[in-house]
Amino acid sequence: MVLQNVSVNNIGPDEGYLSALKEKANAHVNVEVAKQKALQLVEQLNQEKAQTDIEVEQARRKNEVNAELAKTYSLSPEYYELERLRLLQGVVGDKDKIYFVPDGANLTMFLSGNGSGLVVPPAPPQ
């Protein structure tokens, strides 16, 4: 038996097959998006690690500078006294008068004036 005059009308894929293909395509797209997002997060993490390393190195160098400055203060009492006076100037202000007098000096000439001066005895030598 041989079939003759076979005609096919209205050929198209099944709706279930089309929805399965769409789901598969969406799943592949979601996987690719997740991979790209993961790569982006890894790159962001690497950038943050690099920035942190830079900040740690800057802090280490600043600490070395401060350690050397502290050595300068301990090795040179004169430098320490100069820095102390510079900081004291910031506290007192630039309009006040400061007199440095030796120990045992007569302070009545300073105290009998208009009272605007500030008398600071010098630090004893060490």
* Integer Cα distance of 77 and 93 in angstroms: 24
Q: If residue 118 lies in a helix (H) or strand (E), which one and from where to where?
A: strand 117-120
* Integer Cα distance of 103 and 111 in angstroms: 16
CB distance 98 to 116 below 8 Å: no
CA-to-CA separations, 42 to 33, 34, 37, 53, in angstroms, rounded: 14, 12, 9, 16
- Residue 124 in any domain: the answer is no
The total of structural domains in the chain comes to 1
Please report, in tens digits, the pLDDT of each residue of the chain (126 residues total): 676 777 777 778 889 999 999 999 999 999 999 999 999 999 999 999 999 999 999 999 999 999 998 888 889 889 888 888 888 877 766 666 667 777 777 777 666 665 555 555 666 666
- Residue 30 in any domain: the answer is yes
- Residue 51 in any domain: the answer is yes
Residue range of the domain that includes 32: 17-75
Question: pTM for the full model?
Answer: 0.46
- Residue 33 in any domain: the answer is yes
- Residue 71 in any domain: the answer is yes
- Residue 12 in any domain: the answer is no
